[in-house]
Structure 1
Amino acid sequence: MFRRFWARHPVVGDAVIALLCLFLTLTPASSVRTGIPDPAGIVLSIIALAGVLAACVALFWRRRHPLVPFVLSFALQALFVVGILPGGTPLILVTAYALAVYGSSRAAWIGFGVALGALVVWGGAFVLGGGLGFADAANAVIGAVIFGLIGTLIGVNVGGRKRYLDAIIDRSRQLLVERDQQAQLAAAAERARIAREMHDIVSHSLTVIVALSEGAAATADREQARVASTATAQTARTALTEMRAMLGVLRDDTSPLPLAPLTAPSPEETVAAAQRAGYPISLTASGTPVTLSAPIDHALSRIVQEGVTNAMRHAPSATAITVRVEHRADAVSVEIVNDGVTEPGDSPGFGLRGLDERVAHVRGTIAHGPVDGGRWMLRAELPLTQEDA
C-alpha cells in the first residue's frame, strides 16, 4: 500500500526524503564553526548551512538530474572535513542511490570513485598542510565511504531491476505494435486474395454466361438455343457453388480459415467453357508435364482463366484465340494470344493487376500488351521449385 502511495505521489516522497536529510544534516552543519576562530567560523557555518539547504532542495530533481545532488552532497562532505566533523552526511547515501537508479550503474561507480578520490586528495592536502589531523580526516573519509558504498550497492541492484523491467515493458509494447502491424498486413493481403478470387470467379463466369445467352438469343435453331441455355445454367450453377463456398468460409466463425484459395478450373476446363460459348479457341501443350505444386498450379490455372476471359470480353471479333502451355525442366510458361485487338487497351484492370500479384507470389514473370499484326499477347513464366522438379 505504501509503495503504491509513493508511486502515485512522488512529490510527497521527495519532500519527506528532503526533510529527513535536512534534519539529519542540519544539526552537524550548525556546529562546523566549533574550534574555528571567528569570523572564519561564522563564514564557514553560513556556507555549510547554505550547502545543506541547496543539497536538500536539489533532491527534488534527483530523478531528472541525479548528478547535481550527488556532486553537492560530496561538496558538503568536503566542507565537513574542513570543519573537523567526523562521519559522513546521509545525503551521500541518498544521492549515490539516486545516481545508480536514475542514471546508470556505470555512472554510479565512476562518480563514487571520482568523488571519493577527490575527497581523499582534499583531506590529504589539509593533513599535509597541518590544518587537520590525520584521524579527523580519516573519519570523514571513512564515513563518506560507508554511506556512498551502501547507497551505490543498493542503487545498482534496484536500478538494474528497474531498467530490466523497463526494457521488458518497452519490448512488450514493441511486440504489440508489431503484432498490430502484422495483423494489418495480413488483413490487407487477405483482402487482396479474396478480391482476386472473387474477380476471377465472377468475371469469367459472367463473361461465359453473357456469350452463351447472346448466342442462344441470336440463333434460330431451337436445339442450339437449348444447348446454349443449358450451358448457361451449368456455368451459373458452378459460379454460385464457388461463390457460396467462398462466402461460407468468410461467414463461418466456428472453424479456422483455410490457408489455400479455392481450387481454380484447369486450363482444359477453361478452354472447354469458352468453346461451348462459341469462341474460336484452342489449347496446345508441349514438353513433359510434371505434377506442379499447389501455388504454381493455381497461378497457372488463373492465368489461363483471366487471359481467356479478357479475350472473350475485349476481342469479340477474334478469329483465333490460342493458349500454349510449355513445360520445361526449370519452368512452365503459358501464352495466350488473340487477333481481335487492333488498338492498345486502357490501363490494366483488376484482373491483370491480380495476375501480376499471383505471378510475383511464385517469383515468376509476366508480360501483356499488343504485338505485331493486331494481336494481343499475355505471357507468363513460372519457375519450378525443387518440389515441382
Structure 2
Amino acid sequence: MPRGSHRSSVSASADAELLLPRPPGVIRQFWARHPLLTDILVTLIGLLIAVATAVSDWGWSGGVRVVEVVATVIAVAAAGSLMLRRRWPLIPFILAIVMLITLLGSPSAAGSPFLTIPMYAVAVYGSSRLCWIAYGVGTGAIALAGLVGLATTAVTLQNAINGLISAAVAGLIGALVGINVGNRKRYLEAVIDRSRQLVVERDQQAQLAAADERARIAREMHDVVSHSLTVIVALAEGASATPDIERARGAMDAAAGAAREALTEMRTMLGVLRDGDQDAPLAPLAPVSPHDVVAAAQRAGYPATLVVTGSADLPESTRYAVGRIVQEGVTNAMRHAPSATSIRVLLHEDADATTITVRNDGAEPATGPGGFGLRGLAERVAHIGGTFAAGPDGHGGWELTATLPMPEADPLTEIEEPQ
C-alpha cells in the first residue's frame, strides 16, 4: 500500500471512532453562549430555595432564634457561592451541607431540596468519582449531626429523619442528573480535542506529502534534463569544433534527436505528475535502456562502454532504477570528467540482485552541495531496499556502485497447482 494511502486510512479509521452526539437544541445553545447569565439565574434560583427554607422557621416558636439567623446567613452564602461552582464546585456543596446541618435544630421538620444544585455542580464540573464521594460524605455528616443532636436533645427525631431523607433524595437526584450531563460534557471535550489532533495530523501529512512530491518532481526533472542537456551540449560543442561539415551535420542531427527524446520523456513524465493519483507510478512508463544511454554518450564522442553479465527477469521498477542509475553515472562522467579515456558501465544480473558499476578514469567529479543527482539516486535505491555508494576509486577516477535486490516473490504464486 502506498504511504499516502496508509496515512489516509489511519485518519479515516480515527474519524470513524468519533461518535458525535446529537447537536444541542436552541435553548441549550443560548445558555452555552451566555454563561454569566446562566450563573446569575442559577444563583437566584438557589437563593430563593435556600432562603425560603431558612426563613420558613422564623417565628415558629414565638420569636427569631440565633440558630435560625445563622441558618439564613449560611443559606445566603451557599446560594451566592453557586457563582463559583464551575471552578470550585465543592465550595457551594460544603456550605449547603453546613446549612442543612444547622436546619436540623429548627423547630419545624421541613427538609430542603437545595442540595440538588451543588450536587449537580460537583458531578458536572468535577467528576463522577468526586460526586459519589461528596454524596457519601455529605449524607454521612448530616446523619452524624442528627445522632449527635438526638443525644444532646438539640434535634428532634422527626427533624433528624426528615433532614437526612430530604438531603439524601435531593443529593441523589442532583448526582444522577449531573453525572449524565457531566459524562456527555467530558465526551464532547474529548471529541473536540481529538478533532484538533486530527487537524494537526492532517496538516502534517499534507506537508509531508508536499515535500515528497517536490522531491519526486525534482528527481524526475533532474534525470531527464541533466542527461539530455549534457548530451546535447557535448554534441553541439563537437559539431562546432570539427571542420568536417558532414560530421558536424551528423552531430547536430544527433543533438536534435536527443532533444526530441528528452521532450517526449518530459511529456510522459508531466502526464504522470499531472494525473494527481497517489497510486500513479513515480516514473515514466518506459524504463531507460542502459544501451541507449551508452550509445548517446558514444555519439557525443565519449569513450563509454557497456558490459552486461548474467541474465535475470527484472521487474519494471528494477529495470527503471537500473536505467536511471546508469544514466546518472554516465552523465556525471561526461560533465565532470571530460578528459576520461574510459567510462565503463558494468551491469551484472542474477537471481538475487542486480549490481551496477559506473567507473571512469578522469578527474574526480565535483561534490558541491545542492545537487539532486546522487542524492536522488540514493533515495531511489533505498526505496527498493538496495545499497548505493559513490566516490573516488583511489586511482584518480570515480566509481559509482549500486546493488538492487530482487523483489521477493509472492509465496502464493509459488504454489503449484495439483496435477
TM over 0.5: yes
Instruction: Tell me the alpha carbon deviations over residues 60-92 of structure 1, each in whole angstroms, 9 at most, x when there is no partner.
Output: 121122222222222221222233554543331
Structure 1 equivalent of residue 416 of structure 2: none
Structure 2 equivalent of residue 55 of structure 1: 78
Higher alpha-carbon deviation: 24-33 or 206-215:
24-33
Structure 2 equivalent of residue 271 of structure 1: 294
Give the aligned residue type for 2:398: W
Give the 3 Å change call, closer, same or farther, for CA 343–170 of structure 1 in structure 2.
closer
Judge conservation of contact 2:230–2:334 (CA < 8 Å) in 1.
Answer: yes
Where 1:12 maps in the other structure, the secondary structure is helix
Q: CA deviation at 1:19?
A: 0.8
Which sections of structure 1, spanning at least 5 residues, go unmatched? none
The number of aligned residues is 385
Higher alpha-carbon deviation: 209-218 or 323-332:
323-332
Instruction: Tell me the alpha carbon deviations over residues 85-143 of structure 1, each in whole angstroms, 9 at most, x when there is no partner.
Output: 54543331111111111222222122212221222222222223332222211110100
Structure 2 equivalent of residue 321 of structure 1: 343
1:226 aligns with 2:236: no
Give the aligned residue type for 1:177: V
Where 1:82 maps in the other structure, the secondary structure is coil
Where 2:114 maps in the other structure, the secondary structure is helix
Structure 1 equivalent of residue 96 of structure 2: 73
State the alpha-carbon separation in 1 of the partners of residues 341 and 198 from structure 2: 59
Judge conservation of contact 1:88–1:147 (CA < 8 Å) in 2.
Answer: no
Which residue, 194, 200, 203 being the options, matches 1:180?
A: 203
State the alpha-carbon separation in 1 of the partners of residues 388 and 347 from structure 2: 14
Give the 3 Å change call, closer, same or farther, for CA 259–292 of structure 1 in structure 2.
closer
Instruction: Tell me the alpha carbon deviations over residues 225-258 of structure 1, each in whole angstroms, 9 at most, x when there is no partner.
Output: 22211111111011112223334455578x8883
Structure 1 equivalent of residue 323 of structure 2: 301
Judge conservation of contact 2:336–2:366 (CA < 8 Å) in 1.
Answer: no
Where 1:368 maps in the other structure, the secondary structure is strand
1:22 aligns with 2:22: no
1:116 aligns with 2:139: yes
Judge conservation of contact 1:231–1:276 (CA < 8 Å) in 2.
Answer: yes
Judge conservation of contact 2:346–2:357 (CA < 8 Å) in 1.
Answer: yes
Structure 2 equivalent of residue 8 of structure 1: 33
Q: CA deviation at 1:335?
A: 1.3
Q: CA deviation at 1:350?
A: 1.9
Give the aligned residue type for 1:323: V
Q: CA deviation at 1:25?
A: 1.3
Which residue, 121, 128, 149 being the options, matches 2:172?
A: 149
Which residue, 118, 122, 127 being the options, matches 1:95?
A: 118
Which sections of structure 2, spanning at least 5 residues, go unmatched? 1-25, 412-419
Give the 3 Å change call, closer, same or farther, for CA 244–329 of structure 1 in structure 2.
closer
Q: CA deviation at 1:293?
A: 4.8
Q: CA deviation at 1:186?
A: 0.6
Q: CA deviation at 1:160?
A: 1.4
Q: CA deviation at 1:57?
A: 1.8
Judge conservation of contact 1:290–1:388 (CA < 8 Å) in 2.
Answer: no
Give the 3 Å change call, closer, same or farther, for CA 261–68 of structure 1 in structure 2.
farther
State the alpha-carbon separation in 2 of the partners of residues 285 and 60 from structure 1: 86
Give the aligned residue type for 2:33: R
Higher alpha-carbon deviation: 241-250 or 143-152:
241-250
State the alpha-carbon separation in 1 of the partners of residues 168 and 348 from structure 2: 85
Give the 3 Å change call, closer, same or farther, for CA 7–85 of structure 1 in structure 2.
farther
1:243 aligns with 2:266: yes
State the alpha-carbon separation in 2 of the partners of residues 386 and 15 from structure 1: 72
Q: CA deviation at 1:306?
A: 0.9
1:346 aligns with 2:346: no
Instruction: Tell me the alpha carbon deviations over residues 21-58 of structure 1, each in whole angstroms, 9 at most, x when there is no partner.
Output: 1112112213556678999x32x333322222221222
State the alpha-carbon separation in 1 of the partners of residues 299 and 157 from structure 2: 113
State the alpha-carbon separation in 1 of the partners of residues 93 and 293 from structure 2: 82
Give the aligned residue type for 1:13: T
Q: CA deviation at 1:289?
A: 1.5
Structure 2 equivalent of residue 261 of structure 1: 283
Instruction: Tell me the alpha carbon deviations over residues 161-209 of structure 1, each in whole angstroms, 9 at most, x when there is no partner.
Output: 2222222222222222211211111111011100110111110000000
Judge conservation of contact 2:343–2:361 (CA < 8 Å) in 1.
Answer: yes
Where 1:91 maps in the other structure, the secondary structure is coil
Higher alpha-carbon deviation: 123-132 or 311-320:
123-132
Give the 3 Å change call, closer, same or farther, for CA 382–47 of structure 1 in structure 2.
farther
Higher alpha-carbon deviation: 119-128 or 93-102:
119-128
Give the aligned residue type for 2:384: V
State the alpha-carbon separation in 1 of the partners of residues 135 and 116 from structure 2: 11
Instruction: Tell me the alpha carbon deviations over residues 285-306 of structure 1, each in whole angstroms, 9 at most, x when there is no partner.
Output: 2233222252x33322222111
State the alpha-carbon separation in 2 of the partners of residues 51 and 282 from structure 1: 101
- Relative to the length of structure 1, the TM-score reads 0.90
Where 1:179 maps in the other structure, the secondary structure is helix
- Relative to the length of structure 2, the TM-score reads 0.84
Structure 2 equivalent of residue 369 of structure 1: 391
- Aligned identity (percent) is 50
